[in-house]
């Protein structure tokens, strides 16, 4: 049995975002029941053995662990059911949380060599003492069995899949095409329970849907998908920013060229949006955009949402 | 009027700590009313003009902002009452929170050149776009007037004071004396309201109390002081770690050579412990150690505690 837990369903900045006074953030801050607060982008996954792997480690990880009893220590004096983390890119909302895991706890961190090189070149990540925390490479298109620092498997494997996207904001090189991005900078994951072959896809960032990606996803039992913005120009029209969704490396949900349309004929059993920006109207349970999304067969992920496969 | 807000009163790791199953963390996790949960080390300070400076930026900063309405945006579409941050060292619990302040908001970051060099050499901090976030140097023993990115003062000044301590854990050089630490690595702050001369000291990390430091603190109206451990060997005896308090750069509270004794004759009006480790028994409101601390004229800081001077 695959157990998946949404630790954080918001995009970078979270919901509400610290410096945002847009209508949605105001309502979230005021406790409007239609507008749930959300922490930043992360899932946890388990094969049901009581051990969990984080898929990305958000800046809100300490709160996310506190809020989810499955992740509380229950054994020794210093212990954790968290075996490690798998990273899909080096965005701050996906790697800052690793700085919370700094207390001499055995862990494994899986990422592409490109993402590992970012961690290696930032001395703050030396708090992850190599005596306890092992960094292991993922190769594009190759299946890797996950295991803890002790080498004991957790019944899970992951395969990183290159998806259209870009390098992390703070590493952009404006002199190069697509800011110097390479395919390893942003990946999706296919996560499989090795005993049963059950699997799902996790795509927290995806800038477009080429045919080969559609074909790969076709017929999947479950997907967690980039739900950053509703419209490409949403941050501009809400006066919260100057960038389009595409400029940030994200497709938009709505319209003929949007994510909802792109997934319409892929015959996927269960489709859940995650990584949702504070400007996206689907965050309002009562909005027409939310109803449209649900009518199209999608769910809008929320913090603490559990999915079993 | 000086307004001080304790955003986080715990040491690194917070309380409960994610991988700690000690008696205190268990009780905090279970909601024991005598054992309040606490986030990591940070204060906010204002001269009453509605603008705030953070003193250190903890990994819990996003939650701390959410939990304290004084720090919520109230004006424009993207706005914050936070003018900037002052850092006392480069410990993860004091700098990781800067990664939350990454949304094109004008800010100023004050620190010694040594601490700034750590930020400069870690590319993740490039998310603090220099177009919006200005990094300004503090010099030991010199008074600096704080102002926002727009140059407008906030009625506050700070003076960094070298205190016994050490370089951040992840920068330790085991081949050098005191791990290669220099005086700029850990500072205390004297924070002054420029209009009135009201002031307080903030010492979140302090490894010993030399006479010159005692004399500087003597007669102060208010101090926030390193309350990491009760006994020097506490982490060893509670089987939560292998290091003494001193090895981590912190005095202990108890005993003839402890902080409570060191401050006994300094004629300070109000003394508040902050940066309290999850192993310290003063975190239990009902413990004998807590009563002993309060009987000695100290308060034990808690998240959300406000102090006006």
- Whether residue B101 lies inside any domain: the answer is yes
B239 and A CB contact within 8 Å: yes
Q: Which of B 103-132 lie inside 8 A of A, CB atoms? A: 103-105, 118, 121-127
- Whether residue A309 lies inside any domain: the answer is no
- Whether residue A82 lies inside any domain: the answer is yes
ipTM of the complex in this document: 0.94
Q: How confident is the model over A291-299, as a mean pLDDT?
A: 98
**Residue B199: which CATH number?**
3.60.15.10
- A210 CB-near residues (< 8 Å, 6+ apart): A164
The average confidence (pLDDT) of chain B is: 95
Answer yes or no: do B170 and A239 touch at CB < 8 A. no
**Nearest partner of B65 among A20, A81, A198, A56, judged by Cα:** A20
Does the reported pTM lie above 0.90? yes
pLDDT tens-digit map of A213-261: 999 999 999 999 999 999 989 988 888 888 888 888 889 999 999 999 9
The DSSP code sequence of chain B is: --EEEEEE-B-TT-BS-TTB-SHHHHHHHHT-TTS--B-BSEEEEE-SSS-EEEES--TTHHHHHHH-GGGS--SSSB--SEEEEE-S---HHHHGGGGG--SS--EEEEE-HHHHHHHHT-GGGGGS-TTTEEEEE--TT--EEEE-TTS-EEEEEEEEEE-S----GGG--TTSGGGG--GGGSEEEEEEETTT--EEEEES--S---HHHHHHHTT-SEEEEE--BSSTTHHHHTTS-S--TGGGT--BSSSTTSHHHHTTTS--SEEEEESB-TT-GGGSTTSHHHHHHHHTTEEE--TT-EEE-
pLDDT tens-digit map of A179-194: 888 888 899 999 999 9
Answer yes or no: do A21 and B127 touch at CB < 8 A. no
- Whether residue A81 lies inside any domain: the answer is yes
> How many domains, in total, are found in chain A?
1
Higher per-residue confidence, B231 vs B75: B231
Determine the Cα–Cα distance for residues B48 and B52; give it in Å rounded to an integer. Answer: 9
pLDDT at res. A152: 93
pLDDT at res. B217: 97
- Whether residue A227 lies inside any domain: the answer is yes
Residues in chain A: 309
Q: How confident is the model over B92-110, as a mean pLDDT?
A: 94
Structural domain for B86, as ranges:
3-301
- B295 CB-near residues (< 8 Å, 6+ apart): none
> How many Å lie between the alpha carbon of A53 and the closest alpha carbon of chain B?
15
Q: How confident is the model over B245-266, as a mean pLDDT?
A: 93
> How many Å lie between the alpha carbon of A171 and the closest alpha carbon of chain B?
8
Answer yes or no: do B74 and A104 touch at CB < 8 A. no
- Whether residue A165 lies inside any domain: the answer is yes
**Nearest partner of A154 among A110, A103, A194, judged by Cα:** A194
End-to-end CA distance of chain A: 6
Query: Which residues on chain A are in Cβ contact (under 8 Å) with B125?
Result: 170
- Whether residue B53 lies inside any domain: the answer is yes
- Whether residue A141 lies inside any domain: the answer is yes
Whether the per-residue pLDDT at B279 is higher than 90: the answer is yes
Closest-CA residue in chain B for A127? B170
């Amino acid at each position: 049995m695959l157990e998946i837990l949404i630790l954080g369903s918001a995009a970078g900045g979270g919901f509400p975002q610290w410096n945002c006074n847009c209508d949605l953030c105001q309502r979230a801050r005021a406790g409007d029941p239609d507008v749930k607060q959300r922490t930043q982008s992360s899932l946890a996954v388990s094969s049901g053995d009581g051990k969990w792997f984080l898929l990305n480690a958000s800046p809100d990880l300490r709160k996310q662990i506190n809020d989810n009893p499955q992740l509380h220590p229950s054994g020794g004096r210093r212990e954790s059911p968290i075996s490690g983390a798998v990273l899909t890119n080096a965005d701050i909302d996906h790697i800052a949380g690793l700085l919370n895991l700094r207390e001499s706890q055995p862990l494994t961190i899986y990422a592409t060599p490109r993402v590992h090189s970012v961690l290696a070149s930032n001395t703050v990540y030396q708090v992850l003492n190599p005596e306890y925390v092992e960094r292991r490479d993922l190769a594009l298109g190759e299946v890797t069995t996950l295991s803890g620092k002790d080498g004991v498997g957790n019944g899970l494997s992951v395969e990183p899949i290159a998806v259209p996207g870009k390098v992390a904001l703070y590493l952009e090189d404006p002199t190069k095409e697509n800011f110097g991005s390479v395919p390893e900078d942003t990946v999706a994951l296919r996560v499989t329970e090795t005993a049963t072959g059950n699997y799902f896809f996790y795509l927290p960032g995806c800038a477009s849907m080429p045919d080969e990606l559609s074909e790969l996803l076709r017929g999947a039992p479950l997907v967690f998908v980039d739900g950053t913005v509703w419209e490409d120009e949403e941050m501009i029209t809400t006066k919260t920013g100057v960038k389009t969704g595409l400029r940030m490396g994200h497709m938009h949900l709505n319209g003929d060229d949007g994510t909802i349309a792109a997934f319409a004929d892929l015959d996927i059993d269960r489709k859940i949006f995650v990584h949702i920006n504070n400007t996206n109207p689907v965050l309002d349970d009562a909005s027409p955009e939310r109803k449209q999304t649900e009518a199209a067969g999608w769910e809008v992920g929320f913090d603490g949402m559990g999915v079993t496969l």
